[in-house]
Amino acid sequence: MAISTSVVSSASQFAGFRSLTFPQRRRLFLVALAMPAFIYVLGFGVYPLLKGIWYSLYDYSLLKPARTQFVGFENYRELMFDSDMQQSLINTILFTIASVFFELLLAFAIALALWRDDQFNRICLTLILVPVTITPLVVGLIFKGLLLADYGLVGYYLSQWGLSDPRGLFASPRTALATLIFIDVWEWTPLVALILLAGLKALPTDILEAAAVDGAKPFRIFRLVTLPLMLPSVLLALTIRTIDAFRVFDSVFVTTGGGPGNATNTLMVYAVKEGLSFFNIGKASAIANVSLLCTAIIAACLIFLIRHFDKKATRP
């Protein structure tokens, strides 16, 4: 009896599905396809974010979990007057501005050099993309080994020749942050170059040819024609790299750990130190939320600029 009831129920459900119109069935199918991704975003994106906001409103330490108490925005107020937080924010901003600036500058030069589509340029493009395929943590370990003053393949000679601190580039507050910027530029310039090269190849050739026929010099063509048409691609690369550079962690953590002192402390490194070294989960969550807010503001501004210049470029 139970089996026949289930069979009737399944048949009625199938008949109900068949009674739906094609747009309704298509909508239901698309919802079913999107549901796994939606559940994933909820479980691994929204829930940790809400949990982090909740933790930031509490004085919560793993060393004394029983003494957890609600403090509201006290963790955020303390961060405003925290000298380590201020230094971390300054380091993060300097790192982001310097690395993204040099990456765009070098990437534009590489993209222009590889603009012509021939066999040699395709081989060069393949080779220069190798750094992008290496994870930042491994890149940090490679450069740490190369630049160590004791036995590094490069750092030893720099130290012996007096071109770096006797303890190495990572041990001096004057050179540690600049070295990390160099590492980031080495790794991510090829990705920016690839984005800009795609933008260059999408440019309308008739406009460039018309400017050349009118007698315009190459630099003038680049300044008045190529660069304005390339602004959407430039802003896209700028957005991707700015967001990524602002939340830098891997290369800093494995090379300097935020030192010497606080010379290379970034927001993410500072948050990890507070959470996993001092077990101050409330303060660490507040730092992470501040970093997330800054990233969201930067992303919103850059996306607005991308849409603005994209509409301007496509306007007749």
Asked whether residue 66 is domain-assigned, the answer is no
Amino acid letter, 184: D
pLDDT score, position 217: 82
Return the DSSP state at 67.
Answer: G
Clarify whether residues 128 and 201 are in a common domain: yes
Clarify whether residues 15 and 107 are in a common domain: no
Q: Which two tokens stand for residue 133?
A: 């395929």
Clarify whether residues 132 and 279 are in a common domain: yes
Nearest to 113 by CA among 52, 190, 165: 190
Asked whether residue 80 is domain-assigned, the answer is yes
Longest dimension (CA), the chain: 91
Clarify whether residues 97 and 222 are in a common domain: yes
Confidence of residue 59 (pLDDT cuts 50, 70, 90): very high
What confidence tens digit (pLDDT) does each residue in 174-231 have? 999 999 999 999 999 999 999 999 888 888 878 777 877 777 787 887 888 888 888 8
Asked whether residue 61 is domain-assigned, the answer is no
Clarify whether residues 218 and 178 are in a common domain: yes
- Provide the 10 A C-beta neighbour count for residue 299: 15
Clarify whether residues 43 and 156 are in a common domain: no
Q: How many CA within 13 A on the CB side of residue 62?
A: 10
User: What are the backbone angles phi and psi of residue 143, rounded to the nearest 5°?
Assistant: -70, -30
User: What's the total number of domains in the chain?
Assistant: 2
Residue 301 in 3-state DSSP? helix
How far apart CA 177 and CA 172 sit, in angstroms, is 9
Q: Is the pLDDT of residue 9 over 60?
A: no
Asked whether residue 22 is domain-assigned, the answer is yes
First and final CA of the chain: distance in angstroms? Answer: 72
Clarify whether residues 37 and 87 are in a common domain: no
Nearest to 53 by CA among 295, 299, 269, 284: 284
Asked whether residue 68 is domain-assigned, the answer is no
Query: Which CATH number does the domain housing residue 216 bear?
Result: 1.10.3720.10
E-assigned strand segments in the chain: 58-59, 69-70
Clarify whether residues 48 and 181 are in a common domain: no
pLDDT score, position 216: 77
How far apart CA 117 and CA 197 sit, in angstroms, is 11
Q: Is the pLDDT of residue 134 over 80?
A: yes
Give the residue numbers spanning the domain of 223. 74-314
Q: Is the pLDDT of residue 294 over 50?
A: yes
Clarify whether residues 165 and 287 are in a common domain: yes
Clarify whether residues 182 and 247 are in a common domain: yes
How far apart CA 282 and CA 178 sit, in angstroms, is 31
Asked whether 150 and 171 are in contact (CB, 8 A), the reply is no
Asked whether residue 200 is domain-assigned, the answer is yes
Clarify whether residues 167 and 35 are in a common domain: no
How far apart CA 172 and CA 165 sit, in angstroms, is 6
Nearest to 201 by CA among 121, 311, 314, 277: 121
- pTM beyond cutoff 0.85: yes
How far apart CA 3 and CA 10 sit, in angstroms, is 11
DSSP sequence for 80-143:
HT-HHHHHHHHHHHHHHHHHHHHHHHHHHHHHHHT-S-SHHHHHHHHHHTGGGGS-HHHHHHHH
Clarify whether residues 141 and 285 are in a common domain: yes
What confidence tens digit (pLDDT) does each residue in 103-118 have? 999 999 999 888 887 8
Work out the angle between the directed axes of helices 119-128 and 176-201 (0-180°, nearest 10).
150
Q: Which residues pair with 156 in a beta bridge?
A: none
